Structure 1
Amino acid sequence: MQYKLLGRSGLKVSELCLGTMGFGPGQAWSIDKAASFAILEKFAEAGGNFLDTANRYTNGESEKIIGEFIARDRDQFVVATKYSLYDNTTNVNASGNNRKNMMRSVDASLKRLNTDFIDLLYLHIWDSLTPVDEVMRGLDDLVRMGKVNYIGISDTPAWVIAQANTMAELMGWSKFVGLQVEYSLLQRAPERELLPMAKNFGLTLLPWAPLAGGALTGKYLKGDPGRIKEGSKRLNERSVAITQEVMAIAEEIGVEPAHVALRWTMQQGISCIPIAGATKLHQLEQNLGVLNVQLSPEQLGRLDKVSAIDMGFPGEFFKEDGVRLANFGGFYDRVEKR
Structure 2
Amino acid sequence: MTGGSLLGCDDPLVPAYDVVLLDLDGVVYLGDEAIPYAAESLAEVRSRGGAVHFVTNNAARRADTVAERLRGFGVAAEPDEVTTSAQGAGALLAERWPAGSLILVIGSDALAAEIADAGLVPTRTADDKPVAVVQGYGREVGWEQLAEATVAVRAGATWVATNLDSTLPSPRGPLPGNGSIVAAVAHATGRRPDAVVGKPEPALFEQAARRRHADRPLVVGDRLDTDIEGGNRAGMASLLVMTGVTTAAELLAAPPELRPSYLAADLRGLLVPHEIPSYEGGVVGCGGWSVRRANGEWRLAGNGDEVTALRALCVAYWSEAGRVVGADTAATDVLTGLGLS
- TM-score of the superposed pair, with normalisation by structure 2: 0.33
* Structure index of larger Rg: 2
Structure having greater relative contact order (Cα 8 Å, sep ≥ 6): 2
Structure (1/2) with the larger strand percentage:
2
- TM-score of the superposed pair, with normalisation by structure 1: 0.33
Structure (1/2) with the larger helix percentage:
1
